[in-house]
Structure 1
Amino acid sequence: MRFDGLDLNLLVALDILLSEKNITKAGEKLFLSQPATSAALARLRDYFEDDLLVQIGRSMVLTPMGESLAKPVKDLLIQTRTLLNNRHKFDPLTSDRTFTIMASDYTGSVLLPELNRKLAEYAPHCSIEQIMPSSEAEKQIQRGNVDILLLPSVNIIDEHPSTEIFNDEFVCVMWDQNSLSNKEMTLQDYKNAQHVMVRLGTIYNTPMIDDWLIRNLNFERKVGYVTINFSSVPLFLIGTPYIAIMHKRLADIAAKHLPIHICQLPWETPKINIYMQWNKFQETDPGLVWLRDLIMETASYL
Protein backbone atom coordinates (compact mmCIF):
# COMPACT_ATOMS: atom_id res chain seq x y z
CA MET A 1 0.00 0.00 0.00
CA ARG A 2 1.26 3.45 -0.90
CA PHE A 3 0.59 6.74 0.83
CA ASP A 4 1.70 9.93 -0.85
CA GLY A 5 4.04 7.85 -2.99
CA LEU A 6 5.62 5.89 -0.12
CA ASP A 7 5.23 2.14 0.30
CA LEU A 8 3.97 2.01 3.88
CA ASN A 9 5.74 -1.31 4.43
CA LEU A 10 8.96 0.67 4.29
CA LEU A 11 8.02 2.54 7.46
CA VAL A 12 8.71 -0.58 9.52
CA ALA A 13 12.09 -0.92 7.84
CA LEU A 14 12.80 2.77 8.41
CA ASP A 15 11.95 2.50 12.10
CA ILE A 16 14.27 -0.45 12.65
CA LEU A 17 17.08 1.01 10.54
CA LEU A 18 16.96 4.27 12.48
CA SER A 19 16.90 2.38 15.79
CA GLU A 20 19.64 -0.15 15.03
CA LYS A 21 21.89 2.10 12.91
CA ASN A 22 23.18 -1.13 11.40
CA ILE A 23 22.02 -2.76 8.15
CA THR A 24 22.89 -6.31 9.22
CA LYS A 25 21.13 -6.07 12.61
CA ALA A 26 18.14 -4.33 11.06
CA GLY A 27 17.90 -7.12 8.45
CA GLU A 28 17.88 -9.74 11.20
CA LYS A 29 14.94 -8.01 12.90
CA LEU A 30 13.14 -7.59 9.60
CA PHE A 31 13.89 -11.19 8.54
CA LEU A 32 15.50 -9.82 5.39
CA SER A 33 18.84 -10.51 3.78
CA GLN A 34 21.48 -7.79 3.88
CA PRO A 35 21.01 -6.97 0.17
CA ALA A 36 17.23 -6.71 0.63
CA THR A 37 17.68 -4.42 3.67
CA SER A 38 20.15 -2.29 1.74
CA ALA A 39 17.62 -2.08 -1.11
CA ALA A 40 14.94 -0.92 1.34
CA LEU A 41 17.29 1.75 2.66
CA ALA A 42 18.03 2.86 -0.90
CA ARG A 43 14.30 3.27 -1.61
CA LEU A 44 13.87 5.26 1.61
CA ARG A 45 16.82 7.48 0.73
CA ASP A 46 15.29 8.09 -2.68
CA TYR A 47 11.89 8.98 -1.22
CA PHE A 48 13.19 11.35 1.48
CA GLU A 49 15.97 12.67 -0.76
CA ASP A 50 18.41 12.18 2.10
CA ASP A 51 20.99 9.56 3.10
CA LEU A 52 19.24 9.01 6.49
CA LEU A 53 22.16 6.80 7.64
CA VAL A 54 25.79 7.45 6.76
CA GLN A 55 28.95 5.46 7.40
CA ILE A 56 31.49 7.22 9.63
CA GLY A 57 34.45 5.01 10.43
CA ARG A 58 33.11 1.63 11.50
CA SER A 59 29.73 2.96 12.60
CA MET A 60 26.63 4.33 10.93
CA VAL A 61 25.10 7.54 12.24
CA LEU A 62 21.85 9.30 11.52
CA THR A 63 21.76 12.39 9.37
CA PRO A 64 19.81 15.38 10.72
CA MET A 65 16.86 14.20 8.59
CA GLY A 66 17.19 10.69 10.05
CA GLU A 67 17.26 12.11 13.57
CA SER A 68 14.13 14.17 12.89
CA LEU A 69 12.25 11.12 11.56
CA ALA A 70 13.14 8.61 14.28
CA LYS A 71 10.60 9.56 16.94
CA PRO A 72 7.66 10.50 14.66
CA VAL A 73 7.98 7.22 12.75
CA LYS A 74 8.12 5.22 15.98
CA ASP A 75 5.10 7.07 17.37
CA LEU A 76 3.17 6.52 14.14
CA LEU A 77 3.81 2.76 14.24
CA ILE A 78 2.77 2.55 17.90
CA GLN A 79 -0.44 4.42 17.11
CA THR A 80 -1.09 2.16 14.13
CA ARG A 81 -0.61 -0.96 16.26
CA THR A 82 -2.99 0.42 18.89
CA LEU A 83 -5.53 1.22 16.19
CA LEU A 84 -5.33 -2.35 14.88
CA ASN A 85 -5.64 -3.77 18.42
CA ASN A 86 -8.77 -1.67 18.84
CA ARG A 87 -10.51 -3.50 15.99
CA HIS A 88 -11.57 -6.28 18.32
CA LYS A 89 -12.60 -6.35 21.94
CA PHE A 90 -9.90 -7.97 24.06
CA ASP A 91 -11.09 -11.32 25.38
CA PRO A 92 -8.74 -12.54 28.14
CA LEU A 93 -10.15 -16.07 27.95
CA THR A 94 -9.17 -16.55 24.31
CA SER A 95 -6.31 -14.10 23.72
CA ASP A 96 -2.78 -15.51 23.42
CA ARG A 97 -1.05 -12.14 23.77
CA THR A 98 2.36 -11.76 25.42
CA PHE A 99 2.66 -8.68 27.63
CA THR A 100 6.11 -7.19 28.16
CA ILE A 101 6.82 -5.62 31.56
CA MET A 102 10.02 -3.85 32.57
CA ALA A 103 10.55 -4.37 36.29
CA SER A 104 13.44 -5.07 38.65
CA ASP A 105 13.75 -8.34 40.51
CA TYR A 106 12.40 -6.45 43.55
CA THR A 107 9.05 -5.77 41.89
CA GLY A 108 9.37 -9.16 40.24
CA SER A 109 9.45 -10.80 43.66
CA VAL A 110 6.90 -8.61 45.45
CA LEU A 111 4.20 -8.09 42.82
CA LEU A 112 4.66 -10.15 39.67
CA PRO A 113 4.21 -13.68 41.10
CA GLU A 114 0.67 -12.81 42.23
CA LEU A 115 0.03 -11.02 38.94
CA ASN A 116 1.14 -14.16 37.12
CA ARG A 117 -1.24 -16.30 39.18
CA LYS A 118 -4.12 -13.97 38.33
CA LEU A 119 -3.14 -14.00 34.67
CA ALA A 120 -3.14 -17.81 34.65
CA GLU A 121 -6.65 -17.76 36.09
CA TYR A 122 -8.22 -14.95 34.06
CA ALA A 123 -6.23 -15.15 30.80
CA PRO A 124 -4.90 -18.72 30.58
CA HIS A 125 -3.38 -18.34 27.11
CA CYS A 126 -1.66 -14.98 27.75
CA SER A 127 1.84 -14.66 29.13
CA ILE A 128 4.19 -12.10 30.66
CA GLU A 129 7.78 -11.43 29.64
CA GLN A 130 9.70 -9.55 32.33
CA ILE A 131 12.58 -7.36 31.20
CA MET A 132 15.12 -6.00 33.66
CA PRO A 133 15.45 -2.21 33.90
CA SER A 134 18.18 -0.60 31.84
CA SER A 135 19.64 2.84 31.36
CA GLU A 136 17.31 3.10 28.34
CA ALA A 137 14.04 2.56 30.22
CA GLU A 138 12.76 5.90 28.94
CA LYS A 139 13.56 4.97 25.35
CA GLN A 140 12.00 1.52 25.72
CA ILE A 141 8.60 2.93 26.70
CA GLN A 142 8.80 5.69 24.07
CA ARG A 143 9.66 3.17 21.37
CA GLY A 144 6.86 0.85 22.43
CA ASN A 145 9.33 -1.98 23.07
CA VAL A 146 7.73 -2.65 26.45
CA ASP A 147 4.06 -2.47 27.36
CA ILE A 148 4.43 -1.48 31.01
CA LEU A 149 7.15 0.00 33.20
CA LEU A 150 7.01 -0.80 36.93
CA LEU A 151 9.67 1.45 38.41
CA PRO A 152 10.31 3.92 41.26
CA SER A 153 8.87 7.40 40.83
CA VAL A 154 12.37 8.80 40.19
CA ASN A 155 12.54 6.78 36.95
CA ILE A 156 9.15 7.88 35.60
CA ILE A 157 9.06 10.44 32.77
CA ASP A 158 6.52 13.22 32.33
CA GLU A 159 5.74 12.62 28.66
CA HIS A 160 3.73 9.44 29.21
CA PRO A 161 0.88 8.58 31.62
CA SER A 162 1.62 6.87 34.91
CA THR A 163 0.03 6.04 38.23
CA GLU A 164 1.32 4.99 41.64
CA ILE A 165 0.54 1.36 42.44
CA PHE A 166 2.19 0.75 45.83
CA ASN A 167 4.88 2.03 48.17
CA ASP A 168 7.47 0.54 50.46
CA GLU A 169 9.99 1.57 53.09
CA PHE A 170 13.65 0.79 53.66
CA VAL A 171 15.22 -1.27 56.40
CA CYS A 172 18.64 -2.51 57.43
CA VAL A 173 19.26 -6.23 57.01
CA MET A 174 22.01 -8.50 58.38
CA TRP A 175 22.74 -12.12 59.32
CA ASP A 176 20.81 -12.96 62.49
CA GLN A 177 24.10 -13.84 64.21
CA ASN A 178 25.71 -10.53 63.34
CA SER A 179 26.83 -8.81 66.58
CA LEU A 180 24.81 -5.76 65.57
CA SER A 181 21.59 -7.79 65.63
CA ASN A 182 21.53 -7.70 69.44
CA LYS A 183 21.49 -3.94 69.82
CA GLU A 184 19.84 -0.82 68.49
CA MET A 185 21.90 0.29 65.55
CA THR A 186 23.46 3.74 65.68
CA LEU A 187 24.58 5.84 62.75
CA GLN A 188 28.18 5.19 63.76
CA ASP A 189 27.53 1.42 63.72
CA TYR A 190 26.16 1.82 60.21
CA LYS A 191 29.17 3.82 59.06
CA ASN A 192 31.66 1.36 60.57
CA ALA A 193 30.09 -1.76 59.01
CA GLN A 194 30.88 -3.31 55.65
CA HIS A 195 28.04 -3.27 53.17
CA VAL A 196 26.46 -5.41 50.48
CA MET A 197 25.42 -3.17 47.60
CA VAL A 198 23.43 -3.61 44.39
CA ARG A 199 24.47 -2.55 40.90
CA LEU A 200 22.10 -3.57 38.12
CA GLY A 201 23.85 -5.00 35.05
CA THR A 202 23.32 -2.54 32.22
CA ILE A 203 23.04 0.46 34.55
CA TYR A 204 26.06 -0.39 36.69
CA ASN A 205 27.12 3.24 36.96
CA THR A 206 23.67 4.51 37.87
CA PRO A 207 23.28 5.22 41.62
CA MET A 208 21.02 2.65 43.27
CA ILE A 209 18.46 3.40 45.92
CA ASP A 210 20.90 2.94 48.81
CA ASP A 211 23.20 5.58 47.29
CA TRP A 212 20.22 7.92 47.11
CA LEU A 213 19.32 7.25 50.74
CA ILE A 214 22.76 8.04 52.15
CA ARG A 215 23.75 10.90 49.86
CA ASN A 216 23.29 13.48 52.64
CA LEU A 217 25.23 11.51 55.26
CA ASN A 218 28.62 12.53 53.87
CA PHE A 219 30.59 9.32 54.23
CA GLU A 220 31.98 6.54 52.06
CA ARG A 221 30.64 3.09 52.80
CA LYS A 222 32.98 0.15 53.19
CA VAL A 223 31.85 -2.24 50.47
CA GLY A 224 32.09 -5.94 51.23
CA TYR A 225 30.23 -7.23 48.19
CA VAL A 226 28.49 -5.82 45.11
CA THR A 227 25.69 -7.98 43.71
CA ILE A 228 23.65 -7.64 40.52
CA ASN A 229 20.10 -7.89 41.92
CA PHE A 230 18.10 -7.03 45.01
CA SER A 231 16.81 -10.49 45.88
CA SER A 232 20.31 -11.97 46.27
CA VAL A 233 21.39 -9.45 48.93
CA PRO A 234 20.38 -11.61 51.96
CA LEU A 235 22.44 -14.54 50.68
CA PHE A 236 25.62 -12.47 50.87
CA LEU A 237 24.88 -11.39 54.44
CA ILE A 238 24.71 -14.88 55.93
CA GLY A 239 27.93 -15.88 57.69
CA THR A 240 29.40 -12.38 57.36
CA PRO A 241 29.51 -9.14 59.38
CA TYR A 242 28.04 -7.27 56.39
CA ILE A 243 24.84 -5.22 56.47
CA ALA A 244 22.64 -3.88 53.68
CA ILE A 245 19.76 -1.56 52.89
CA MET A 246 16.72 -3.41 51.53
CA HIS A 247 13.11 -2.79 50.60
CA LYS A 248 11.05 -3.97 53.58
CA ARG A 249 8.62 -6.05 51.52
CA LEU A 250 11.48 -7.95 49.92
CA ALA A 251 13.31 -8.33 53.24
CA ASP A 252 10.16 -9.76 54.83
CA ILE A 253 9.91 -12.36 52.06
CA ALA A 254 13.56 -13.34 52.55
CA ALA A 255 13.20 -13.54 56.35
CA LYS A 256 10.62 -16.32 55.97
CA HIS A 257 13.30 -18.61 54.57
CA LEU A 258 16.70 -17.26 55.60
CA PRO A 259 18.42 -16.50 58.95
CA ILE A 260 18.43 -12.73 58.62
CA HIS A 261 17.65 -9.93 61.04
CA ILE A 262 15.70 -6.83 60.02
CA CYS A 263 15.95 -3.52 61.88
CA GLN A 264 15.23 0.14 61.34
CA LEU A 265 17.82 2.35 59.71
CA PRO A 266 19.43 4.80 62.16
CA TRP A 267 18.02 7.83 60.35
CA GLU A 268 14.74 8.94 58.81
CA THR A 269 14.29 7.70 55.26
CA PRO A 270 11.62 8.55 52.69
CA LYS A 271 9.36 5.85 51.34
CA ILE A 272 9.80 4.50 47.84
CA ASN A 273 6.83 4.85 45.51
CA ILE A 274 6.46 2.31 42.70
CA TYR A 275 4.70 3.59 39.60
CA MET A 276 3.19 1.96 36.54
CA GLN A 277 3.81 3.76 33.25
CA TRP A 278 2.74 3.12 29.66
CA ASN A 279 3.09 4.78 26.28
CA LYS A 280 0.53 7.54 25.70
CA PHE A 281 -0.27 6.12 22.28
CA GLN A 282 -1.32 2.83 23.88
CA GLU A 283 -3.77 4.47 26.26
CA THR A 284 -6.80 2.85 24.60
CA ASP A 285 -5.26 -0.51 23.65
CA PRO A 286 -7.94 -2.90 25.02
CA GLY A 287 -5.46 -5.57 26.10
CA LEU A 288 -3.27 -3.08 27.93
CA VAL A 289 -6.25 -1.39 29.55
CA TRP A 290 -7.23 -4.81 30.91
CA LEU A 291 -3.66 -5.56 32.05
CA ARG A 292 -3.28 -2.20 33.80
CA ASP A 293 -6.51 -2.83 35.68
CA LEU A 294 -5.25 -6.28 36.70
CA ILE A 295 -1.95 -4.79 37.93
CA MET A 296 -3.84 -2.21 39.99
CA GLU A 297 -6.08 -4.92 41.46
CA THR A 298 -3.06 -7.07 42.33
CA ALA A 299 -1.15 -4.17 43.90
CA SER A 300 -4.17 -3.22 46.03
CA TYR A 301 -3.75 -6.46 48.01
CA LEU A 302 -0.11 -5.86 48.91
Structure 2
Amino acid sequence: HFNDPLFIRVGNEMIPTELAKQIFPLISEVIDKVESINNFNVNFDPLTSDQLFTIAMTDVSHLVLLPQLTNYLKEKAPLIRLNIRPITPETSYQMANGEIDLAIGFLPQLEEGFYQQKFFRQHYVVISSKSHPRLDPNNFTLEDYMRESHIDIDAGIGHYHIKNELQNKGLDRNILIRLPSYLGVGLVVQETDAIATVPYYLSQVLLVRENLQILPAPLDFPTYDVKQHWHMSCHHKSSHKWFRQTCYELFKTA
Protein backbone atom coordinates (compact mmCIF):
# COMPACT_ATOMS: atom_id res chain seq x y z
CA HIS A 1 0.00 0.00 0.00
CA PHE A 2 2.85 2.42 0.86
CA ASN A 3 5.16 1.11 -1.90
CA ASP A 4 7.61 0.54 0.94
CA PRO A 5 8.44 -2.70 2.82
CA LEU A 6 8.25 -0.81 6.17
CA PHE A 7 10.69 -3.34 7.67
CA ILE A 8 13.87 -4.81 6.21
CA ARG A 9 15.92 -7.71 7.49
CA VAL A 10 19.44 -6.95 8.67
CA GLY A 11 21.04 -10.15 9.87
CA ASN A 12 18.63 -11.64 12.38
CA GLU A 13 16.76 -8.40 13.01
CA MET A 14 13.88 -6.57 11.31
CA ILE A 15 14.72 -2.87 11.04
CA PRO A 16 12.03 -0.23 10.33
CA THR A 17 12.44 1.88 7.24
CA GLU A 18 12.33 5.68 7.38
CA LEU A 19 8.65 5.61 6.35
CA ALA A 20 7.84 3.14 9.13
CA LYS A 21 9.51 5.44 11.64
CA GLN A 22 7.44 8.39 10.37
CA ILE A 23 4.05 6.66 10.54
CA PHE A 24 4.71 4.78 13.78
CA PRO A 25 3.48 7.65 16.04
CA LEU A 26 0.21 7.79 14.10
CA ILE A 27 -0.29 4.03 14.30
CA SER A 28 0.59 4.06 17.98
CA GLU A 29 -2.01 6.76 18.62
CA VAL A 30 -4.71 4.74 16.84
CA ILE A 31 -3.81 1.61 18.81
CA ASP A 32 -3.96 3.54 22.08
CA LYS A 33 -7.43 4.87 21.22
CA VAL A 34 -8.71 1.40 20.29
CA GLU A 35 -7.35 -0.02 23.53
CA SER A 36 -8.96 2.83 25.45
CA ILE A 37 -12.33 2.06 23.86
CA ASN A 38 -11.99 -1.65 24.57
CA ASN A 39 -11.00 -1.02 28.16
CA PHE A 40 -13.94 1.33 28.60
CA ASN A 41 -16.37 -1.29 27.35
CA VAL A 42 -14.86 -4.18 29.28
CA ASN A 43 -14.31 -2.36 32.55
CA PHE A 44 -17.62 -0.51 32.89
CA ASP A 45 -18.79 -0.89 36.49
CA PRO A 46 -22.06 0.82 37.46
CA LEU A 47 -21.00 0.99 41.10
CA THR A 48 -17.95 3.12 40.34
CA SER A 49 -18.72 4.76 36.98
CA ASP A 50 -19.55 8.47 36.94
CA GLN A 51 -20.73 8.42 33.33
CA LEU A 52 -23.26 11.01 32.17
CA PHE A 53 -26.24 9.63 30.23
CA THR A 54 -28.28 12.10 28.19
CA ILE A 55 -31.91 11.07 27.75
CA ALA A 56 -34.60 12.73 25.66
CA MET A 57 -38.02 12.21 27.26
CA THR A 58 -41.62 13.20 26.78
CA ASP A 59 -43.17 15.10 29.68
CA VAL A 60 -45.28 12.05 30.59
CA SER A 61 -42.09 10.01 30.92
CA HIS A 62 -40.68 12.71 33.21
CA LEU A 63 -43.56 12.17 35.62
CA VAL A 64 -44.09 8.42 35.27
CA LEU A 65 -40.62 6.97 34.75
CA LEU A 66 -37.91 9.38 35.86
CA PRO A 67 -38.50 9.17 39.65
CA GLN A 68 -38.24 5.38 39.57
CA LEU A 69 -35.07 5.47 37.47
CA THR A 70 -33.48 8.08 39.73
CA ASN A 71 -34.17 6.06 42.87
CA TYR A 72 -32.74 2.91 41.31
CA LEU A 73 -29.55 4.65 40.20
CA LYS A 74 -29.11 6.22 43.62
CA GLU A 75 -28.90 2.72 45.11
CA LYS A 76 -27.23 0.66 42.37
CA ALA A 77 -25.12 3.22 40.48
CA PRO A 78 -24.69 6.19 42.83
CA LEU A 79 -22.19 8.11 40.70
CA ILE A 80 -24.08 7.87 37.40
CA ARG A 81 -25.46 11.25 36.28
CA LEU A 82 -28.46 12.04 34.09
CA ASN A 83 -29.04 14.91 31.68
CA ILE A 84 -32.71 15.05 30.66
CA ARG A 85 -33.75 16.82 27.47
CA PRO A 86 -37.14 17.38 25.83
CA ILE A 87 -38.15 15.70 22.60
CA THR A 88 -37.65 18.16 19.73
CA PRO A 89 -37.48 17.99 15.92
CA GLU A 90 -33.67 17.79 16.33
CA THR A 91 -33.75 14.73 18.61
CA SER A 92 -33.02 12.20 15.86
CA TYR A 93 -30.05 14.23 14.62
CA GLN A 94 -28.72 14.63 18.16
CA MET A 95 -28.97 10.87 18.67
CA ALA A 96 -27.07 10.21 15.45
CA ASN A 97 -24.21 12.55 16.38
CA GLY A 98 -23.91 11.23 19.93
CA GLU A 99 -25.42 14.14 21.86
CA ILE A 100 -28.31 11.99 23.11
CA ASP A 101 -27.89 8.42 24.34
CA LEU A 102 -31.52 7.35 24.60
CA ALA A 103 -35.00 8.64 23.76
CA ILE A 104 -37.99 7.43 25.76
CA GLY A 105 -41.71 7.86 25.09
CA PHE A 106 -44.22 7.49 22.28
CA LEU A 107 -41.98 8.54 19.40
CA PRO A 108 -43.21 7.30 16.01
CA GLN A 109 -40.75 9.65 14.30
CA LEU A 110 -37.95 7.36 15.58
CA GLU A 111 -39.43 4.11 14.27
CA GLU A 112 -37.15 4.13 11.21
CA GLY A 113 -33.36 4.09 11.46
CA PHE A 114 -33.09 3.49 15.20
CA TYR A 115 -33.06 0.49 17.50
CA GLN A 116 -36.12 0.31 19.72
CA GLN A 117 -37.53 -1.71 22.61
CA LYS A 118 -41.08 -1.66 23.94
CA PHE A 119 -41.70 -0.94 27.62
CA PHE A 120 -45.50 -1.05 27.86
CA ARG A 121 -48.74 -0.15 26.11
CA GLN A 122 -50.53 3.00 27.18
CA HIS A 123 -54.24 3.84 27.02
CA TYR A 124 -56.31 6.86 27.94
CA VAL A 125 -58.55 7.57 30.92
CA VAL A 126 -60.35 10.66 32.18
CA ILE A 127 -59.50 12.47 35.41
CA SER A 128 -61.62 14.85 37.44
CA SER A 129 -61.63 16.38 40.89
CA LYS A 130 -62.55 13.78 43.50
CA SER A 131 -65.24 16.16 44.76
CA HIS A 132 -66.72 16.78 41.31
CA PRO A 133 -70.45 17.47 41.83
CA ARG A 134 -71.74 15.59 38.77
CA LEU A 135 -69.42 12.70 37.88
CA ASP A 136 -69.57 9.10 39.06
CA PRO A 137 -66.71 6.73 38.04
CA ASN A 138 -69.19 3.83 38.04
CA ASN A 139 -71.59 5.54 35.68
CA PHE A 140 -69.65 7.81 33.35
CA THR A 141 -71.15 8.15 29.89
CA LEU A 142 -70.23 9.85 26.64
CA GLU A 143 -73.00 12.35 27.36
CA ASP A 144 -71.30 13.20 30.67
CA TYR A 145 -67.96 13.52 28.91
CA MET A 146 -69.26 15.94 26.30
CA ARG A 147 -71.25 18.01 28.82
CA GLU A 148 -68.24 18.93 30.97
CA SER A 149 -65.54 21.53 30.34
CA HIS A 150 -62.17 20.10 29.32
CA ILE A 151 -58.50 20.77 29.92
CA ASP A 152 -56.84 20.10 26.56
CA ILE A 153 -53.17 19.14 26.54
CA ASP A 154 -51.28 19.96 23.36
CA ALA A 155 -48.39 17.57 23.93
CA GLY A 156 -47.00 15.38 21.19
CA ILE A 157 -48.61 12.81 18.92
CA GLY A 158 -50.96 11.50 21.61
CA HIS A 159 -52.84 14.79 21.58
CA TYR A 160 -53.84 14.12 17.99
CA HIS A 161 -55.07 10.60 18.84
CA ILE A 162 -57.74 12.15 21.04
CA LYS A 163 -58.53 15.00 18.67
CA ASN A 164 -58.81 12.72 15.62
CA GLU A 165 -61.05 10.21 17.40
CA LEU A 166 -63.45 12.97 18.43
CA GLN A 167 -63.45 14.52 14.95
CA ASN A 168 -64.14 11.12 13.35
CA LYS A 169 -67.27 10.87 15.48
CA GLY A 170 -68.31 14.47 14.86
CA LEU A 171 -67.77 15.47 18.49
CA ASP A 172 -66.53 18.88 19.63
CA ARG A 173 -65.53 19.31 23.27
CA ASN A 174 -65.92 22.49 25.30
CA ILE A 175 -62.27 23.44 25.91
CA LEU A 176 -61.83 25.58 29.02
CA ILE A 177 -58.00 25.67 29.07
CA ARG A 178 -55.27 24.49 26.72
CA LEU A 179 -51.98 23.45 28.32
CA PRO A 180 -48.67 22.98 26.47
CA SER A 181 -47.77 19.87 28.50
CA TYR A 182 -49.10 17.41 31.07
CA LEU A 183 -46.94 18.81 33.87
CA GLY A 184 -49.63 20.98 35.49
CA VAL A 185 -52.78 19.14 34.51
CA GLY A 186 -53.40 17.40 37.85
CA LEU A 187 -53.46 20.59 39.89
CA VAL A 188 -55.64 22.43 37.37
CA VAL A 189 -58.19 19.59 37.29
CA GLN A 190 -58.18 19.31 41.08
CA GLU A 191 -59.01 22.99 41.54
CA THR A 192 -61.77 23.17 38.91
CA ASP A 193 -64.77 21.21 37.67
CA ALA A 194 -63.02 20.65 34.34
CA ILE A 195 -61.92 17.17 33.27
CA ALA A 196 -58.91 15.96 31.27
CA THR A 197 -58.15 12.94 29.11
CA VAL A 198 -54.71 11.61 30.02
CA PRO A 199 -52.54 8.48 29.64
CA TYR A 200 -53.40 5.79 32.20
CA TYR A 201 -49.99 5.51 33.87
CA LEU A 202 -49.87 9.26 34.28
CA SER A 203 -53.26 9.14 36.01
CA GLN A 204 -51.84 6.68 38.55
CA VAL A 205 -49.05 9.12 39.42
CA LEU A 206 -51.45 12.06 39.66
CA LEU A 207 -53.88 10.08 41.80
CA VAL A 208 -51.25 9.75 44.52
CA ARG A 209 -50.35 13.45 44.50
CA GLU A 210 -53.65 15.18 43.84
CA ASN A 211 -57.25 14.95 45.06
CA LEU A 212 -58.49 13.28 41.87
CA GLN A 213 -60.62 10.42 40.64
CA ILE A 214 -60.23 8.30 37.50
CA LEU A 215 -63.10 7.74 35.10
CA PRO A 216 -63.11 5.26 32.21
CA ALA A 217 -62.79 6.88 28.79
CA PRO A 218 -66.23 6.78 27.11
CA LEU A 219 -64.61 6.38 23.68
CA ASP A 220 -62.11 3.86 22.34
CA PHE A 221 -59.19 6.23 22.02
CA PRO A 222 -56.18 4.61 20.30
CA THR A 223 -53.56 2.94 22.48
CA TYR A 224 -49.84 3.40 21.89
CA ASP A 225 -46.52 1.83 22.86
CA VAL A 226 -43.96 3.56 25.06
CA LYS A 227 -40.46 2.57 23.93
CA GLN A 228 -36.80 3.36 24.31
CA HIS A 229 -34.91 4.25 21.13
CA TRP A 230 -31.17 4.43 20.47
CA HIS A 231 -28.77 4.94 17.59
CA MET A 232 -26.59 2.19 16.15
CA SER A 233 -23.44 4.01 17.32
CA CYS A 234 -24.40 3.16 20.93
CA HIS A 235 -25.67 -0.36 20.31
CA HIS A 236 -22.57 -2.35 21.34
CA LYS A 237 -21.27 -0.02 24.04
CA SER A 238 -21.28 -1.94 27.33
CA SER A 239 -22.25 1.05 29.47
CA HIS A 240 -25.11 1.82 27.12
CA LYS A 241 -26.24 -1.82 27.07
CA TRP A 242 -26.30 -1.83 30.87
CA PHE A 243 -28.31 1.39 30.97
CA ARG A 244 -30.83 0.17 28.38
CA GLN A 245 -31.31 -3.11 30.21
CA THR A 246 -31.77 -1.24 33.47
CA CYS A 247 -34.50 0.92 31.92
CA TYR A 248 -36.18 -2.12 30.39
CA GLU A 249 -36.26 -4.06 33.66
CA LEU A 250 -37.64 -1.05 35.52
CA PHE A 251 -40.30 -0.04 33.01
CA LYS A 252 -41.34 -3.15 31.07
CA THR A 253 -44.57 -3.24 33.08
CA ALA A 254 -44.38 0.39 34.30
TM-score relative to the length of structure 1: 0.65
2:212 alignment counterpart: 260
Corresponding residue to 1:97 among 48, 51, 58:
51
Contact 2:161 2:221 in 1 (8 A): no
Task: Show CA shifts across 1:196-234 (max 9, x none).
Answer: 12234xx7x995553355342333322211223213212
Contact 1:161 1:280 in 2 (8 A): yes
Q: Which of residues 107, 119, 126 in structure 2 aligns to 1:172?
A: 126
User: Are the structure 2 counterparts of residues 220 and 93 from structure 1 closer, same or farther at C-alpha, using a change threshold of 3 Å?
Assistant: same
* Match for residue 292 of structure 1 among 244, 249, 252: 244
* SS of the residue 1:181 aligns to: coil
Question: Given the alignment, which residue of 227, 232, 242 partners 2:184?
Answer: 232
Distance 1:207 1:238, change over 3 A: closer
Q: Is the 8 A contact 1:156 1:275 kept in 2?
A: no
For residues 51 and 78 of structure 2, the distance between their equivalents in structure 1, rounded to whole angstroms, comes to: 10
Matching residue within 129, 147, 154 for 1:192? 147
Aligned pair count reads 219
Gaps of 5+ in 2: 1-32
Residues 6-17 of structure 1 aligned to structure 2 (within 5 Å): none
TM-score, length basis structure 2 = 0.76
Q: Matches of 1:267 and 1:206 in 2, distance apart?
A: 15
* Cα separation, 1, equivalents of 2:245 and 2:173: 41
Is 1:181–1:261's contact at 8 Å kept on the other side of the alignment? no
Provide the C-alpha distance between the structure 2 equivalents of 1:206 and 1:267, rounded to a whole number of angstroms.
15
Residue matched to 1:110: 64
- How many Å separate the matches in 1 of 2:49 and 2:146? 53
Answer with 1 or 2: which has the greater Rg. Answer: 2
Alignment of 1:111-150 (within 5 A): 111-150=65-104
Deviation at 1:108, TM superposition (A): 1.7
Corresponding residue for residue 283 of structure 1? 235
Identify the structure with bigger relative contact order (alpha carbons < 8 Å, sequence gap 6+): 2
